[in-house]
Amino acid sequence: MKECNQCGKCCTKYSDGGLSALPSEIESWEMFRPDIYRYVSGGNIWISPVTGKQMERCPWLRKLPDQDKYTCDIYYDRPEDCKHYPVTIEQMVVDECEMLEVRDLASPKQAQHRLDKLMVDSRPAVK
């Protein structure tokens, strides 16, 4: 498995309503990050404060100039859904994650074990 190359596929695929935030995250944003909280409505995230509609892309995702890389403006305050990604090798295949290598596809159980070790600080391991 390769290091993340910031291709942004995960962020662009799931940021249009495919993500959620824990009530505790929303409360924290309300108190300490009103800039993030303004994109929350009815417990849903990335709702336009102007139109009240679900945004097509996370408002915190930034494409680096002249590169095919992305950064997250709220990386340390991002939702748990974002912190937990990627969860499974199967999900990475569907999402065309660029972290995958040929050997990961040939041995998905071993690749899942490597992924769980890699993500141990971000999320609970998949059993």
pLDDT band with cut points at 50, 70 and 90 for residue 123: low
Separation CA 34–CA 36 (nearest Å): 5
**Structural domain boundaries in the chain:** 9-118
* pLDDT of 50 strictly over 70: yes
**The tokens of 99 are what?**
């972290």
pLDDT of residue 125: 52
21 in Cβ contact with 120 (< 8 Å): no
73 in Cβ contact with 62 (< 8 Å): yes
Contacts for 114 with CB less than 8 Å, ≥ 6 apart: 1, 104
